Amino acid sequence: MQQHIEALNDSKYCPLWHDQDVRPDTLPPLREDASCELLIVGGGFTGLWAALLLKERQPDADIILIEKTFIADGASGRNGGFLSSSLAHGETNTDYHFPGEADQLHELGQQNLAELLETLERYHIDARYEKVGQLEVATNPASVKTMRAAYEAEKARGDDVVWFDQEAMRAQVNSPTYLAGFWHRDGHDGVIDPARLCWGLKEVLLKLGVRIFEGTALDCIETDGTDRMKASVAGAVIHSERVLMATNGFHSVLRKIRKTVIPVWDYQLATEPLNEEQLESIGWHKSRHAIDNHANMFHYYRFTQDNRITWGGGGAVRYYFNSGTGPDCADIPERFEQLSREFFETFPQLKGLKFSHRWSGIIATSSRFCMVPGVAHNGRVAWTVGYTGLGVGASRFGARIGIELLGYQPSDILKMQFVTKKPLPWVPEPFRWLGVTITQRALVKADRNNGKRGLWLQLLDKLNLGFTC
C-alpha cells in the first residue's frame, strides 16, 4: 500500500477539535412551546456571538438559541482556526464589490478582532489563541512575483510585513517546495482552537440567561399576527418578536438564503503529535506560523498546542450536485488520500507520520466571496451567511450586523454597501454544478500551469468570480 494511504489507516473520522475532554455535554432539545424576544437559529459562531453581543447591548434581552445537532457541529467546530481580521476576503475582492469602503472595512475588521480577543479575556474563555500572523508561501515562480509585488505595496504603506527568500523561508519551515514566503505579522491575526471558542461562548451565554436547546431543528417560520414570528420545531412552537437565522451553508427554510449560498465541502487532516526528530526536520515549531500557499486551490495548515499539524484545502475541495450536504459527501476516502499525498509532497521528511483525525465541513460560499446580510418579513427576520472560508473572525461582525438589522441599536454600518448591496444569486442546477465544476478544473489547471489563467478564468476575473474558498 502506498505510504500516503497507509498514513490514514488509523485516523478516525472526527474533527480534532471535537475530540477533547473539555467538550461539554449536549443540552436537551426543546420539548414544549416557548416564547422569547429573539430566536436565534444555529449554534455556530454567528449565532453564539449574536446572542452575546445582544446580551451586552441589552442585558434583559430574552433569547432562545436552537441548534439542530450540537453547538460547534457546523463549520465553527470544523475549521482551520485561522483567525483573520479580513471581513471581505482580501483587497481585490473588497475593491471590486465595495468600492470606496476598503479603508473602513479594514478598520472595522481590526476593531472586530480586537474586541473579540478582549471578550475572550473578559470572560476567561481559553480558545488557545496564538498571535502568529499569517504566512503565505510561494511554490512556483509566478507566485513569487505576485507575492513580491504585494509585499512591496504593503511595505510602502507601512504594514508590518516580512519577506523570506527561498533560503530564509526554508529556515523558517523546511519544505523543498517553498520558493519564498510573505509574512503578515501586524494586527491580531493568528490561530485559535475553534471548538473551545464555541464552548466558551456557550458557557458564558448560559450564565447570562440565554436558553439554549440542542438537537432542535427549525422546520419552518411564518408570521404570527402582525408583529410576531412563529417557528416550528419537532413537537413544539416558538413565538418570538424577531428571528436571526445563523445557519450559514446549511439548507435554509428561507428561499432568499438558499439562493445566496452554496455549500462547498472542505476536508481536513490532523497528524499525531510530532516527536523531537520530526519537529527538528521541519523547524516550524519555533515560529509556529499559520501557513497557506499562494495558489487557487490552496492548502492551509498550522500547528496545534500539542504539536500536531492540521492540513486542509488543496485540490480536495468540492461542490456536489444540487447543493449536496448529505453524509455521502462527508467521509470520502479519495479526498483524504489526495490531501495526504499533497501533505507528503510538501513535507517528504515526515514520511512515516500518521494522521490521527480526518474530517470535513461545509463552507458557505456566496457569489461575492464574503458574508451576505439580509432581512425578510418586514425586518423581523435577519441573517448573515456566506463567509466563504474566512468566517472565524468575520462571523462576530456578521453577528453584529444581524442584530443591528433586527433593530438592536443600529449604527451607520447598516448604510454601507457591504450591508445594503445584494449579491448575484447562484444560478439553478444543472448550470450551478456545471459552472462550479468547470471553474474548479480551470483553477486546478492554472495551478499546474505556473498560475497562467485560461480563457474561462480570464472571463470570470472580469466579473470577479474566479475564486475558490
Ligand X SMILES: Cc1cc2nc3c(=O)[nH]c(=O)nc-3n(C[C@H](O)[C@H](O)[C@H](O)COP(=O)(O)OP(=O)(O)OC[C@H]3O[C@@H](n4cnc5c(N)ncnc54)[C@H](O)[C@@H]3O)c2cc1C
Of the candidate spans 69-77, 148-156, 163-171, 350-358, the one that interacts with ligand X by CB under 6 A turns out to be 69-77
65 binds ligand X per the rule CB under 6 A:
no
- Name the residue nearer to ligand X (CB basis): 73 or 404: 73
Nearer to ligand X, 134 or 140 (CB): 134
273 SS3 class: coil
Work out whether 135 is an interface residue with ligand X (CB under 6 A).
no
**How far is the CA of 31 from the CAs of 128, 216, 219, 321, 408, in angstroms?**
35, 9, 14, 35, 29
CB of 13 to ligand X, least distance (A): 13
- Taking CB under 6 A as the rule, does residue 79 contact ligand X? yes
Taking CB under 6 A as the rule, does residue 89 contact ligand X?
no
Q: Which CB sits closer to ligand X, 143 or 310?
A: 310
Check whether the bond before 273 is cis (ω within 30° of 0).
Answer: no
Q: Cell digits for 348?
A: 517528504
Cα 225 to Cα 144: distance, rounded to the nearest angstrom: 61
Beta carbon of residue 167, minimum distance to ligand X (angstroms, whole number): 29
Residue nearest to ligand X (CB): 391
User: Which residue in 404, 467, 445, 437 sits closest to 54, CA to CA?
Assistant: 404
With CB under 6 A as the contact rule, the residue among 7, 16, 55, 80 that binds ligand X is 80
40 lies in the binding site for ligand X (CB under 6 A): no
Closest separation in Å from C-beta 444 to ligand X: 19
Q: What is residue 371's three-state secondary structure?
A: coil
Distance (Å, rounded) from C-alpha 256 to C-alpha 374? 8
Indicate the SS3 state at residue 341: helix
Q: Is the separation of the CB atoms in 451 and 466 below 8 Å? A: no
Using CB under 6 A as the binding rule, the residues of this chain from 215 to 234 that contact ligand X are: 217-218
The yes or no reply on residue 248 touching ligand X (CB under 6 A) is yes
Task: Give the one residue of 17, 73, 138, 211 binding ligand X; rule: CB under 6 A.
Answer: 73
What are the cell numbers at 213?
A: 436547546
- What binding mask, one character per residue, do residues 401-420 give for ligand X by CB under 6 A, x or -? --------------------
Residue 339: which H helix or E strand, with range? helix 333-346
Nearer to ligand X by C-beta: 79 or 172? 79
Confirm or reject binding of residue 392 to ligand X (CB under 6 A). Answer: yes
Can residue 69 be called a binding residue for ligand X (CB under 6 A)?
A: yes
We find the least distance from the C-beta atom of residue 197 to ligand X, in angstroms, to be: 10
Q: What is the dihedral of CA 46, 47, 50, 55, to 10 degrees?
A: -150
Q: 250, 298, 343, 467: which one contacts ligand X (CB under 6 A)?
A: 250
- 84 makes contact with ligand X (CB under 6 A): yes
- Identify which of 336, 325, 379, 381 has the alpha carbon closest to the alpha carbon of residue 359: 336
Cα torsion through 406, 410, 415, 420, rounded to 10 = -10
Give residue 428's identity as a one-letter amino acid code: P
Among the listed ranges 61-69, 165-173, 275-283, 410-418, the one in contact with ligand X (CB under 6 A) is: 61-69
Which position among 38, 54, 74, 257 is part of the footprint of ligand X (CB under 6 A)?
Answer: 74
Cα(386)–Cα(370) distance, integer angstroms: 6
**Contacts (CB under 6 A) with ligand X, residues 327-346:** none
* Among positions 39, 42, 161, 343, the unique one binding ligand X when judged by CB under 6 A: 42
Q: Interface with ligand X includes 389 (CB under 6 A)?
A: yes
Q: Which stretch binds ligand X (CB under 6 A): 129-137, 207-215, 279-287, 391-399?
A: 391-399
Q: Does 112 bind ligand X (CB under 6 A)?
A: no
Using rule CB under 6 A, residue 240 touches ligand X: no
43 near ligand X (CB under 6 A): yes
212 touches ligand X by CB under 6 A: no
Beta strand 211-213 with 291-293 is unpaired
172 touches ligand X by CB under 6 A = no
DSSP codes joined into one string, 391-454:
-TTHHHHHHHHHHHHTTSS--GGGGSHHHHPPPPPPPPTTHHHHHHHHHHHHHHHHHHTTT---
To the nearest whole angstrom, how small is the minimum distance from the Cβ of residue 388 to ligand X?
A: 7
| Cβ at position 366, least distance to ligand X in Å | 11
CA–CA dist 372, 364 (Å, integer): 10
Helix axes of 45-57 and 194-207: crossing angle, nearest 10 degrees:
40
Helix (H) or strand (E) holding 276: helix 276-282
Binders of ligand X in range 272-311 (CB under 6 A): 300
Q: Is 373 in the site for ligand X (CB under 6 A)?
A: no
Residue 389, φ and ψ in degrees, nearest 5: 80, 0
Could you list the residues that contact ligand X (CB under 6 A)? 41-47, 66-69, 73-76, 78-82, 84, 217-218, 246-250, 266, 268, 300, 312, 361-363, 387, 389-393, 395
